[in-house]
Amino acid sequence: MKRNAPKPSKDKIEMMGTITEALKGTQFIVELDNGHEVLAYPCGKMRKYYIRLLLGDRVKVEISPYDLTRARITYRYKRMQHRRGPNPTAAIVGGSALTIRERVSGRARGF
């Protein structure tokens, strides 16, 4: 038996995709960049830190070479702020930009 042989658990296929449907039991349908759809679930760290997954999110998935229809979501990419434009809920109050939530909560008045 070779000691330097790679472990089978390391033989994962990593791909990018987009969440297209949310199912019960924290499972998702992810459309991969090559057009295939897989049934995916979030990895343990994402569950532990309550990483929220929404429709349209770009994700990185790991697919087992033994079952190409199931995958594990390992990373959710952040949405680009600069592509959506400026924050529509921001307002200039006293020379600083505050969101509506900050204005309503009283932070603008210094409470």
**CATH number of the CATH domain containing 30:** 2.40.50.140
Strands 37-42 and 67-76: parallel
Residues 21 and 42 in one domain: yes
pLDDT at 91: 46
Residues 106 and 54 in one domain: no
Task: For residue range 13-56, list pLDDT tens digits in order.
Answer: 999 999 999 999 999 999 999 999 999 999 999 999 999 999 99
Task: For residue range 68-104, list pLDDT tens digits in order.
Answer: 999 999 999 988 744 555 555 444 445 455 555 565 5
Asked whether the beta carbons of 60 and 74 are under 8 A apart, the reply is yes
Whether residue 59 has pLDDT greater than 90: yes
Domains of the chain: total: 2
Residues 62 and 109 in one domain: no
pLDDT at 63: 96
Whether residue 66 has pLDDT greater than 90: yes
Number of H helices, E strands in the chain: 3, 7
The letter for the amino acid at 103 is: R
Residue 44 inside a domain? The answer is yes
Whether residue 5 has pLDDT greater than 80: no
pLDDT at 11: 85
Does pTM surpass 0.75? no
Residues 58 and 16 in one domain: yes
